[in-house]
Amino acid sequence: MSRWLAALAASWLLVGCTAIPVASSSTTASQSPSASPALGTAAQLPTSSPTNEPAPSVGGMDSDLPISTVDDPYAAAVFRVMELGGSPCLREVHVEPDSEIYGLVQRAAQSSGQEGMLPGWKAYVGSLDAAAKGFGAKEIFTGSKVGRSVVIVEARAVTDIGEGAPIGYVLLPIPLTDGRTAWLRTGDYVASVPCAPEGS
């Protein structure tokens, strides 16, 4: 971590998330705006799908993509996005978890029986490594326990985010009964944005 990021992290821990200017927006599954949680508590998504299926298989950890195993993949991705973007300013979008979506993705993945991008869904069936590559990732942040991961990609056609800006998307594992895993891109992301001029 660069000296600048270390200092930023230390100041953030001392005074809270006000040390990081965050251009933040939130949406729910119905696309209605709501208050954004503080950066330290952002994206409190479930760590796995709400089923009694076997734990998902991460697999592919001999990837040629950089993989970081950390306690909190989202928090680590926030700092990596700031580092890559060269800016402490971020835009975060969070969606309310919808257990019905997990069930629909699970059924669609099991009925297709194939690996790869799941037609009609922002979901990839296979290992985390394969899913990350399928979504165009440059880096992967995964948890020390099975659960959500974050992949860092370059933004493409994302509203209010510059083309090519670093953006971290949350992938949520949905275990399938045959041992495969569907990785759902939930709609949660953190992206680097330019800081607004002072006084605007």
Question: What mean pLDDT do residues 46-70 have?
Answer: 55
Angle at 153 between CA 150 and CA 154, to 5 degrees: 150
Question: What mean pLDDT do residues 67-85 have?
Answer: 94
Cα–Cα dist 27/92, whole Å: 10
Q: How buried is 141 (Cβ within 10 angstroms: 0-12 exposed, 13-18 middle, 19+ buried)?
A: buried
> Is the predicted pLDDT of residue 150 greater than 90, yes or no?
yes
3: which residues sit within 8 A by CB, 6+ positions away?
none
Residues shown for the chain: 200
Cα–Cα dist 70/161, whole Å: 26
- Residue 114 pLDDT: 84
Strand-pair partners of 90: 22, 192
- Residue 62 pLDDT: 53
How is the chain split among helix, strand and coil, in percent rounded to 5? 25, 25, 50
> Under DSSP, is residue 13 helix (H, G, I), strand (E, B) or coil?
helix
> Is residue 33 very low, low, confident or very high in pLDDT (cuts 50, 70, 90)?
very low
At 188, the amino acid letter reads D
